[in-house]
Amino acid sequence: MLKQVRDEEELLLAMEISNREQQPEIKLVEEELSHGVVRPCFPSTKQSSGTNSHADDEEAKLESNAAREALLELEGRAYHAWPLRANVREGIVPTWPELLISLTVPCTDDEVATEWLNNEAVREAINAKPKNVAGDWELCTDRIKFHHDAGSMMKYHRNLTLKGYRALIFSGDHDMCVPFTGSEAWTRAMGYKIFDKWRPWISNGEVAGYTQGYENNLTFLTIKGAGHTVPEYKPKEALNFYSRFLAGKAI
């Protein structure tokens, strides 16, 4: 009986080693980004194929209008349908009703806001039209038409920071709508020198995220465990870093 158990254990070990040898090599997360920062979080869950490359390489491929049009054709109905460092195409912003029936995890919880903003007493207090005139409030509605007309905002960030205005770009590291890697990429693309290298920042005696400081008063900061709406997920940490920033204190 003992010999049989040993034989079975040796067989299982041999099978495990064989399986490991046959499995593909797992690459670094950075190498698996591919279109991660230029694709929205709401289209299909089908994995992309082909050679992986860094975010900068993928964004570089979008320099031509044809490339941008091709990307929009695939992602035009998505919630966040534009790479963070490519110029936005002018025109009507796609509507997002598919969010309401999406099977993916939403980027924000609007249950309380929906209840509150559809209360007639609240609507009267904030001088909003009643529901029988304006209809129910919805997070994603197709009744309002927005237009893209500003292209890239990077020139405005560069203009203001060069004039001495302080700027803090913060992002939750669990944001499934606008990944913090994308925010970090366009912040880095400003071309400013780094004077405060990537390091943790502390809130209530614990690591609350990471930050990197650039010249011209530009700071990038992440919040650990926070989603798209940082104060909703991490209210204490959000109040902490924002209060310190407004007071001109180091984070």
Question: Looking at residue 229, which CATH number applies to its domain?
Answer: 3.40.50.11320
Token digits for 26?
């797992």
Average pLDDT across the chain, whole number: 72
State the pLDDT confidence band at 88, using cuts at 50, 70 and 90.
low
Closest CA to 99 of 133, 142, 59: 142
Tokens of 105: 């995890």
Q: Identify whether residues 185 and 241 lie together within a single domain.
A: yes
Q: Give pLDDT tens digits for 154-180.
A: 889 999 999 999 999 999 999 887 889
Q: Using the structure block, give the residue that is written with the tokens 């991490």.
A: 234
Same domain, 242 and 203: yes
Burial class (CB in 10 A: 0-12, 13-18, 19+), 249: exposed
Residues 104 and 88 both lie in one domain? no
Q: Is residue 145 part of a domain?
A: no
Residues 6+ apart with CB under 8 A from 160: 167
Amino acid type, 137: W
- Count of domains forming the chain: 3
Q: Is residue 105 part of a domain?
A: yes
Query: What pLDDT is attached to residue 124?
Result: 94
Residue type, 238: A
146 occurs within a structural domain: no
Domain annotation covers residue 207 = yes
Evaluate whether residue 144 is within a structural domain. Answer: no
Mean pLDDT score, 28-37: 42
Q: Mean pLDDT throughout 40-49?
A: 40
* In a shared domain, residues 37 and 87: yes
Task: Count H helices and E strands in the chain, helices first.
Answer: 10, 6
Please check whether residues 162 and 240 belong to one and the same domain.
yes
Inside any domain, residue 162: yes
Q: Is residue 231 a contact partner of residue 225, using CB atoms and an 8 Å limit?
A: no
Category of 66 on φ-ψ map: left (φ > 0), alpha (ψ -120 to 50) or beta: alpha
Cβ-proximal residues to 236 (8 Å cutoff; 6+ apart), any chain: 203, 204
Distances, alpha carbon 153 to alpha carbons 92, 158, 205, in Å: 18, 9, 36
25 part of a folded domain: no
Residue 212 shares a structural domain with residue 234: yes
What pTM was estimated for this model as a whole?
Answer: 0.57
The verdict on 88 and 162 lying in the same domain is: no
Q: What is the pLDDT of residues 66-86, one digit of tens each?
A: 555 555 554 444 444 445 555
Same-domain status, 174 and 240: yes
Quote the CA–CA distance of 53 and 109 in Å, as a whole number: 33
Same domain flag for 101 and 173: no
> Residue 109 is part of which domain span?
97-134
Cβ-count burial of 182 within 10 angstroms (0-12 exposed, 13-18 middle, 19+ buried)? buried
More reliable by pLDDT, 41 or 65? 65
**Among 3-17, 48-62, 161-175, the least confident range:** 48-62
> Does residue 161 sit in the same domain as residue 233?
yes
Asked if residue 112 and residue 80 are part of one domain, the reply reads no
Q: Are residues 241 and 183 in the same domain?
A: yes
Looking at 92, 110, 143, the residue that finishes a domain is 92
Q: CA-CA distance, 96 to 78, in Å (whole number)?
A: 7
Instruction: Tell whether 71 is covered by a domain.
Output: yes
